[in-house]
Amino acid sequence: MRIGFVGLGNMGGSMALNLMKAGHQVTVNDVRRQVAEPHLAGGAQWADSAAAAAKGAQVVFTSLPGPREVEAVALGEGGLIGAMAPGSLYVDLSTNSPTVVRQVHARLKAKGIRMLDAPVSGGVVGARKATLAVMVGGSESDYHEIKPVLDALGDKVAYIGAIGAGSVAKLVHNMIAICSTQLLAEAFTMGVKAGVSPEALLRAVQDGAYGQGMVLNAALPKMVFRDNFDRVTFALKLARKDLGLATELARELNVPMPLAAHAEQDLLEALNKGWGEKDSSASFMIQEERAGVKVRNSS
């Protein structure tokens, strides 16, 4: 397949190489020509602009820093919109704003150009080894058409939903990863200041229910998604007690724990609603009430 690829950074460079390894004809563009040397050595063609990379391509990929760059490359002067042929497919691999994705999609659609948003996760190593997760939003038929190409980028390619859905999923994933790191910082600083080695704490967390994935693999799909909070594996009143003991220890040690303190307030609110005998995952409903949406199975 004739592919244009714009953006050869830490992620994009490896993804473009993997498309080449899969046998595709790849034309590359980046603001720094020197980063394309491995691609050119492997047989890729160089393009002096995004438009030149897109000319004659069946599929154009972008892997760019953010929404501003995507808008400029897709819609700006010398961009993709003026170079891609009607019926060709644009796939944005960037971590992008769902709103921007939908705006770009609408502009391209008016020109007869198809678009998928397909952000990736798995880091530089995943990009190099082609083990990325690829979260795809857009037309399902376009997804099935391009999936054999996407399989060259990652071994966890999934259709998420309509245009922009891939970007929503990526933001959800990254938000959880980033905020979880901050929560780990609170917990580990408390544990270490209380006299336990970080290695021992890590082993305890890895071996426990959380480390075994019970939140993602059991609590969310089997309780929250099914509105099944009366199936109790760990009562909310006990969760409040345990978190209270943790925040009490943190106060004794003068360890600030703002995330844990906020979670404790949610548990107290849940107790005041009479949910103490429900499963601890029932605290999910506090945020649902604030957000005005229930996280339940769609079927």
Q: What tens digit of pLDDT does each residue of 172-216 get?
A: 999 999 999 999 999 999 999 999 999 999 999 999 999 999 999
Question: Does residue 299 have a pLDDT over 80?
Answer: no
Q: Is 170 a catalytic residue?
A: yes
Domains with residue ranges and CATH for the chain: 2-163 (3.40.50.720), 169-291 (1.10.1040.10)
Q: How does pLDDT run across 91-102, given as a tens digit for each residue?
A: 999 999 999 999
User: How much is the pLDDT for 175?
Assistant: 97
Q: Among residues 170, 222, 278, 294, which one is catalytic?
A: 170
pLDDT in tens, 81-92: 999 999 999 999
Q: Is-contact 166 148, C-beta < 8 A?
A: no
Per-residue pLDDT tens for 26-53? 999 999 999 999 999 999 999 999 999 9
Q: pTM above the 0.85 mark?
A: yes
Cα separation, 263 vs 125, in Å, equals 34
**Mean pLDDT (the chain, rounded):** 97
Residue 156, classed as helix, strand or coil, is strand
* Element of type H or E holding 140: helix 140-150
Rounded to whole angstroms, the Cα distance separating 106 from 115 reads 9
Q: How confident is the model at residue 54 (pLDDT cuts 50, 70, 90)?
A: very high
Q: What is the DSSP letter of 299?
A: -
Cβ proximity of 283 and 236 under 8 Å: yes
For the stretch 225-264, pLDDT in tens is 999 999 999 999 999 999 999 999 999 999 999 999 999 9
Give the model's pLDDT for residue 298: 84
